Amino acid sequence: MELEMQLRTLAREAKDASRILATSSGAARNAALLGLAQLLEAHQAEILGANAQDLDKAQQAGLDSARMERLRMTEAGIAAMCAACRHVAALPDPIGEMEQVTTRPNGLMVGRMRIPLGVIAIIYESRPNVTIDAAILCLKAGNSVILRGGSEAYYSNMALTSLLQKAIADAGLPQAAVQMVPTTSRSAVPILLGMDEYIDVVIPRGGEGLIRAVVRDATMPVLKHYKGVCHIYVHEDANMDQAIDIIKNAKTQRPAVCNALECLLVHQRIAPTLLPVLGKTLGALGVSFRACPQALPLLGDVAEPALPTDWGHEFLSLTLAVRVVGSQSEAEAHIAQYGSGHSEAILTADYRRAMRFLRTVDASCVLVNASTRFNDGGELGLGAEIGISTSKVHAYGPMGVKELTSQKFVVFGDGHVRQ
């Protein structure tokens, strides 16, 4: 009961703060973001110290390597947070923006005004950078945010939240606009998910189990970020050198992230040429393969037979499923069956095939002759991102500032009455 009262107070304060933010000036919100960048730079040592506490605790608890990588903060990572603050501050202010203004036959002027969503709860695991990315995007879009990070990142998240609140207060905005749930107890989550009178939207980021639990229990709308089972299909006419570079980047640059390549589909005509080179190149980088019967003898001793469960699996490691297909239609059918709606790519020199793939394949981002790693808010010009939505309602793909707003109809009349 005490925890519920504490969270109810936190949510009510966030709701009150959201009303102030909705009418705040873009200059004040930008000042908070720019001030935060300066604070992050000035307090880098304290942030890394807090993160070291989390890493030590996680190592003792036996956290797996993928989650350890997500938890780790570096000087380069903090520099990226600062750059994100400044980039988002430089974006146009969406709040109050008027769109689709038309004049009806009776003289009424009808338009749509962009407005904040209100109070957004973010429930996430491991990555402390989400604390900054989520908060600055919500703030820019005029939303209050309630952050519920994973217990493994507690010290890092609390250090970052204290700087966020100082930057907000220094800009003359309500400190309650950004709050971190001050407990690692799992019982806090279902309590938050029942507070639809205060919280307008919840965004879960983490493993599939977390997301399904949030979807099941939430009494407010959920913007889902499900797993990233990303495919690349290599058509028979693809440039082989280019294909090797793209596949290597998509699989090995950061294998533990959601836009990393998990399954490679190769046309049977290019497979005998491509796969032996790929096996040597990626094998030397530590990649192992789960291969179909046709691909297995072509990849060398770094491959083993694929199991049925390897198709549609998010490895989050240097493991890559490989299947040889007889046609583009077969590749598209495989993606339809096993994809997660995240990122899908085709490598081809044929414009018509590329356009067919773009139209046919259902994913939040579909790419032609490019790595799946580009499905990222920063890479696509949104600045930071709050997550990649794999559902089609409201937002589909990386969610930046504009995706954290809605629109309301506004009507201008001159004594109009309906007949």
**pLDDT of residue 96 exceeding 90:** yes
pLDDT tens digits for 232-282?
999 999 999 999 999 999 999 999 889 999 999 999 999 999 999 999 999
Q: Which amino acid is at 237?
A: D
pLDDT value at position 399?
87
CATH superfamily, domain 230-374, is Aldehyde Dehydrogenase; Chain A, domain 2 (3.40.309.10)
pLDDT value at position 383?
67
Please report, rounded to a whole number, the percentage of residues in the chain having pLDDT higher than 90.
83
Q: How confident is the model at residue 292 (pLDDT cuts 50, 70, 90)?
A: very high
pLDDT averaged over every residue in the chain: 94
pLDDT tens digits for 181-204?
988 888 999 999 999 999 999 999
Phi-psi region of 304 (alpha: psi -120 to 50; beta: other; left: phi over 0): beta
pLDDT value at position 391?
80
Q: Of the candidates 249, 248, 238, 259, which has an alpha carbon nearest to the alpha carbon of residue 339?
A: 259
CA–CA dist 273, 296 (Å, integer):
14
**pLDDT of residue 377 exceeding 90:** no
**pLDDT of residue 109 exceeding 90:** yes
pLDDT tens digits for 124-167?
887 899 999 999 999 999 999 999 998 999 999 999 999 999 99
Domain extents in the chain:
2-223+399-412, 230-374
Say which residue, 223 or 322, is predicted with more confidence: 322
pLDDT value at position 206?
78
pLDDT value at position 407?
94
Q: Which fold has domain 2-223+399-412?
A: Aldehyde Dehydrogenase; Chain A, domain 1 (3.40.605)
Q: What is the CA radius of gyration of the chain?
A: 23
pTM above 0.75, yes or no: yes
Q: Of the candidates 242, 21, 251, 32, which has an alpha carbon nearest to the alpha carbon of residue 132?
A: 32
pLDDT tens digits for 86-95?
999 999 999 9
**pLDDT of residue 386 exceeding 70:** yes
Whether 125 and 106 have beta carbons less than 8 Å apart is answered as no
pLDDT tens digits for 302-337?
999 999 999 999 999 999 999 999 999 999 999 999
Q: Which amino acid is at 140?
A: K
SS (H, E, C) the chain: CHHHHHHHHHHHHHHHHHHHHHCCCHHHHHHHHHHHHHHHHHCHHHHHHHHHHHHHHHHHCCCCHHHHHHHCCCHHHHHHHHHHHHHHHHCCCCCCCEEEEEECCCCCEEEEEEEECCEEEEEECCCCHHHHHHHHHHHHCCCEEEEECCHHHHHHHHHHHHHHHHHHHHCCCCHHHEEECCCCCCCHHHHHHCCCCCCCEEEEECCHHHHHHHHHHCCCCECCCCCCCEEEEECCCCCHHHHHHHHHHHHHCCCCCCCCEEEEEEECCCHHHHHHHHHHHHHCCCCEEEECCCCHHHHHHHEEECCHHHCCCCCCCCEEEEEEECCHHHHHHHHHHHCCCCEEEEECCCHHHHHHHHHHCCCCEEEECCCHHHCCCCCCCCCCCCCEECCCCCCCEECCCHHHEEEEEEEECCCCCCC
CA–CA dist 188, 184 (Å, integer):
8
